[in-house]
Structures are given as structure tokens and as C-alpha cells.
Structure 1
């Protein structure tokens, strides 16, 4: 259960720090859907956080009856965020202890969102309990190695800049606890258009752009669901631009989106910001963030030429509970391989010939209007059983999405369950910009 206790702490520093004997902390992370996910202890309970440079204070959500965590020094608040919805109820809490390896903050301010609809776990495929950003970037030099999936948090006093071949250092503007970088874009025949972009590691997308006198939505675009914010679902126009350039690094044919500007009604003072650059661009670099000196150093990595991922099928997926899967097996002499996780963690052998496994159920959470999947007849709520003959319970949700959106011209066969009947659908993936 969620335990809320009232403990007051006075005189403690509201910063993260390492022991004096340690110069840095190495943290391994998961990169799922272009998002950095790492474990952080909150008042002794380990939770999963997205590292989100676009957020000011840590926010907890998706705390279920199974979670037991003490939250200190609480008051009720309303929280606004991206999306068209109304403000949501939440809690403000101070005096909390955050721990990340040897990094500690004994007086961390956080927010708790009480709306159960805000739950990123089903679409990401693993439990996600919160987001954290500025406070870590403020207190450390943060070296993110996207290719090795490792972050090093350095105490600024102990960090020495090294000359790295083929790296570039760009100035950052830190405005209201968020980092902005200058870039240039090429779209609609206009080259070298200067743009001011929010650096947003908490966005799984590539580029968001706001329309103005110089920045127009390209003619080739389509309506799409762009994501979910604290204020609800975010929709807009999906497209691509000729390129975005950071320093001298130019990413060609970059995936881009123009969000519905009603989404930003709750955010005041957008200023001269032209959009944001998210994880699908950032993961192409290894990046050193230095908020204290207002700069970041970028260097291309092995992801730089990775193709941009588009939802060619029009299908969105999410986990929705669990289901049993039955499979014939060879004689095991009564034993199940201990390391065989492909069939789930709960396994039952029936007469040594059949294995029942409890696995996550993956369902269609949305269908884009006019997409190949919609034309074929798939519907929201359909349970995905197999894609092109492959039983999907053996794969992670992001791997299933890759199967469904492999490449233009590929025929996709999807076996689904609807009203306790198995139905096979077939469609061909099409170029979204023709």
C-alpha cells in the first residue's frame, strides 16, 4: 500500500551528493522506446524512474496497492502538464531520501500524481513509477553513454574535461530549470533555419516543432497520437524534415511532429522556444551534460545512422494483465530449464508433455484512422497472439511493435483473439508519405 507519513526535516541540504571519497557513480540503465530507465531508492523502496531532463521536480505515479513506500511531509496540490485535460490532483512532499548507488539526497522534494490513468508501464512493458530530471542534472556532470547504456554522475569539483576526437561542445541555456540548445533545421526548401529546442530525454520521440511564420508543417503528413502527458493524451501531425543539425552533426530525413498547440495551453511563457529534441535523436550521441557551466558535449555513436521508427501499421500496443499459454514440449524428465524465461516466470508441467506458462497479455490499445491495420479490420481491445507466425509471448512489447512495423511493402499477418475466437488479419505496410 502507499504509506503517507508526516515527518518534518529541517536544515538538510536539498541536493544530491557523493561521499567525499568518491568522484563518480556509475549507473546501468535500460533503454526502452528511446527512454532512459534506471532504479532509484525512495525512502528505502526501489522504484523505476525515467531520466527526464524536461521535468523540474521528481514525480511519482502508478503507485499501486502492492507498493509500500513512505512519503514524508505531505500537502495536497493540483498539477498541470502537457495535454488537453484538466489539472490533476496530487501531493507535494519534502524531506524524502533518494538514493542512487552512493548518491544520496536526504531532503528531496517530490510530487505524487494520484490519477490512476497516468500509467506508462503498460506501453513500455515494465513497471515505471516516476520521472526525475533537473535535480540530478543540477548537482552533477552527467555523462550518458547511450551506446553502452551507462551513465556516470560526476561531482563537478572532481571532473576533468578530456579532449575527445570528433566531439563538439554546445552552449546550453538553462531557463526555469530546463535546458535548451540551439540547432538548425531544413524543411520546406528552407535551409539553416535557426531553432531553440528543449533538450528532453523524457521524450521517446525525435523532434517536436511549433508552427510559426518560418516553420510550417510539410505537405506530407498525417494525424497521429504523439504520446501522453500529465494533462492527458497528445495529438498532432506526424511528418519528417530534411535534416536537423546540432553543431556540425546533421541528422538527415529526421522524424518530426507538430503537436496540437492546445496541448500547451497549461504551459505559460513558451518564449522563443521552437520545439524539443527527444530520445530518438539524443540516443544517436553520447552526451556529457554540464548544467553548472551551461554546456553539453556530444559525440556520434553507433546509433547515429539508425533508421527512424514509424508506426506503419497504425497499431498501438500495451500490456493488459496476463494469460496462460499452452505448448507441447519434448520429454524433460520432469524438469523445466531454470533460465528459460521466454515462456514467463510461472510454469506448470502437465504429464511432462504440455507446459502452461503465465505470460503478459498484449492488446491493441489504439488504431490510427486510415491505417493498414484499420482497413484490414483490427480493433482496439484485440488480443495479439502471433505476428507472421511468431507467438508474441516470447517477445517484449517493443520487439512486437518492430515486427508490426518492419518495412514498407511487407505483408503482415496478425493472429488475434476477439470474443474468445481466434481471427487472422493481413495487411501490407505502406509508405506514410506517398
Structure 2
């Protein structure tokens, strides 16, 4: 069965800049609790799947699973996006709340639970503060090409010293008392509403160098998002172009894509950084932390091996083999999604105006059958994304079906920035 989802933009970004504004608050949650190892061990490690820059780890919920959760420094409570994984007989004293999130939509209905137990590797936690969404507004499964059940953040990171090795696709976590001196670059973390922030210099065209307060968000697939300047609208650089930047709890996030001159993290300077500028009304106006400038995501973080020491108030990092790779955006104008019933059928959800895809005559709802004469089932989602932003001027042959007819079109990729 083909599913329609025009709000998901696969080629570039999905935003997890989630700011909760609960009408009733988190009264009754036990924030003193942490994950603990089930055995007399001090450290553990897990392999993860990295899809669209997002870290996906296996988690057991109430002794069932494993379920696919996104590891996300940008969220506070555990978020269950697929409510079917929870046995309703195990849930008591649920509180119905309204959530204001980023995006252009209205409030959402969710439920707060204190009766969720979670296990990550050899570590577990009882009564995890949890938000269960009534409706899966993210639709992450069709965006990432595999079933996604939720997001996990603060309570895991606050329990351990967490090392993320993007090159090896491995997350290691150890007890805080095992802390040793780390001779890597270091940035101090400031915590606001249980989310980590850094203050770093960013050079922006026309503005010069600014001191940016950024939330560290490994659950955001972009490189950098600049949302506000002096608590107002962030000035757009020239050139930039309008784009659908992704989806937040409140729905679609629109804005522009441009570049900043550089961002400096410790001794490392990253130049010509692809940056999203979400509409002020979609993100910054809804943020509770008005003094924040924006959000640093995984397209930057994946250039490093990163250690988060929440209890020590620090982030350590050293560059890896992908550090020198340039930041690129989609050059085709095709937005795609997968059928979440089968995960082996790929459809066009949206075509950017005046893009190579529009000029080639590709339309929304076309089913992609092959790219460069290779079956679409032989590609991963990341394979497709990387191919469509690979090289300015490169030609791509796309075979697709429409109304039971098969077509082959040639796209000439075009860099816009």
C-alpha cells in the first residue's frame, strides 16, 4: 500500500529541535533516577545504525523488543512515537497533555507515563519519564527506511560517559566514576531544561563573527541551524534558497538554506558550512530558551569522535576521517519516502520548483524503480541521498513508474549554493 507523506523531506534534513511546553508540566517524574548496569560491570558498548546522520540503537521497553530508537541529545523525556509497542494493560495513571512543538501546526495530544521500564545493552532504568505520542507526527519510518519506535535522550546521557564513534558506528558508555583525563578538544556544556548547550564563534556573511549559543543535537540530521539573532529573526545570507527543512512536533518547518563562512569548535574550524534558517515563527518564536541562537546537528558531529560527560559538564571531540569532506545539499530537487508496509518501494513525495527533477518531468507520487540502471532495492536510503548530492553537473538516470507506465529520465545535478 502506498502512503502519502508530502511533509517529509528525505534528501536534506529532519529537525528534532523539540521544545516541550506541557500545560500540566512533568509533575511526579523522578528525575533523580538514572540508568544502571544490571551486572557488576562499569562499561558497555553497542553497534548502531547511522541513517541520514541519525543514530539508531536497539532498546527494550517493558521487557519487549528490541525496538529502534533514535539517540538524541536534543530530547529530555523518553519519547515513544509508536504507541503500539506499549501494552496498554501495563499503563496506569496516564495523564493527557497538550504539546507545543516546532513547526507550523497546532498543539498535539500526548500521554505522560511513569510506568515505562527501558533497557539499553546491559543497562536498565525503571519508571523512565516518558511521553507517548497519540499520533506519530514524525513519520520517521518512511523517512529513514526502517521502523522507528521512538527517541531517547537525557536520562541515558546523564547516567554515563557516552562515547560516539561515527566511523565505527559504535556507542560506548561507562559509569561516571570511571572518568579519566581526556586529552582531546573540550567544550563546556551548559544545561537548560536538561539539554546541552555550547557557546562558539560563528562567522556569518554581513554579520561578521558572532558568539552563538547552540544546542548540541545529535538527533538533528543537518549541520547547523540558525534560528534567531538578538532574540529576533536571523538575517538571511546571500545567496540562499527557500526549502522545506523537515518536521517538528508541530508539523512542517519551512525556511531557507544558505551557508555560513565558518564555525569554530575548539581548535577545529569548519568552513563554508551548509546552514538552515527556519522561519522564525516555526521554531524560534516557540522556543522557551529565547537566548539560544540555534542548533548544531549531526552533519557536523559525525566529523568527530565525540564524548559526552553530562555530569562533568563537558563534551570532548577529535576529528575523524570525514572531517575534510565538504558540506553539500541535495542537487536534484527530488524528495522521496518509502512504503512503511514493505520498506522496499520508494516514491516521490515532492518536487522542488525549477529543479533538475522538475525540468526532467518527474512528478509527485511517481514510484522510483531504478537509478543508473541499478534496482532501487539495491540502494540504501543513504546511498540514494549521497548520490543525489554527489557532484554538480553529474547526470543521473532515473527509471520510474506512473499510472502503470514506465519512464526513464535524465537529471543533471545542480548545486545552488
Q: TM-score range by the shorter chain?
A: 0.7 to 0.9
Residue 409, structure 1, aligned to residue 393, structure 2: yes
Report if the CA contact (8 A) 2:117-2:125 is conserved: yes
1:143 paired residue number:
163
In structure 2, the residue corresponding to 1:152 is in which secondary structure?
strand
Between Structure 1 and Structure 2, which shows a larger proportion of strand residues?
1
C-alpha distance 10-55 of structure 1, shift in aligned 2 (>3 A): closer
Report if the CA contact (8 A) 1:208-1:277 is conserved: yes
C-alpha distance 223-23 of structure 1, shift in aligned 2 (>3 A): same
In structure 2, the residue corresponding to 1:399 is in which secondary structure?
helix
CA distance in 2 between partners of 1:185 and 1:309 (Å): 19
Within the candidate set 25, 46, 49, 1:27 is matched to 46
1:5 paired residue number:
none
In structure 1, the residue corresponding to 2:327 is in which secondary structure?
coil
Residue 300, structure 1, aligned to residue 300, structure 2: no
Unaligned runs of 5+ in 1: 1-8, 324-358
Residue 272, structure 1, aligned to residue 256, structure 2: no
The within-5 A match list for 1:31-70 is: 31-46=50-65, 47-64=67-84, 67=85, 69=87
C-alpha distance 231-261 of structure 1, shift in aligned 2 (>3 A): same
Unaligned runs of 5+ in 2: 1-27
C-alpha distance 208-361 of structure 1, shift in aligned 2 (>3 A): same
Within the candidate set 325, 344, 350, 1:360 is matched to 344
2:263 paired residue number:
244
2:7 paired residue number:
none
- TM-score, reference length from structure 1: 0.84
Report if the CA contact (8 A) 2:69-2:149 is conserved: yes
2:366 paired residue number:
382
Deviation per residue, 1:152-204 (Å, 9 max, x gap): 111112222343xxx21111111111100111112215543211111001100
Residue 431, structure 1, aligned to residue 410, structure 2: no
C-alpha distance 88-299 of structure 1, shift in aligned 2 (>3 A): same
C-alpha RMSD over aligned residues: 2.2
2:135 paired residue number:
115
Report if the CA contact (8 A) 1:62-1:119 is conserved: no
- TM-score, reference length from structure 2: 0.87
Residues paired across the two proteins, number: 385
Within the candidate set 79, 100, 110, 1:80 is matched to 100
Q: Please identify, of 258-267 and 378-387, the stretch whose mean Cα deviation from structure 2 is larger.
A: 258-267
1:204 paired residue number:
221
Structure number with greater Rg is 1
C-alpha distance 296-13 of structure 1, shift in aligned 2 (>3 A): closer
Deviation at 1:72, TM superposition (A): 2.5
In structure 2, the residue corresponding to 1:194 is in which secondary structure?
strand
In structure 2, the residue corresponding to 1:360 is in which secondary structure?
coil
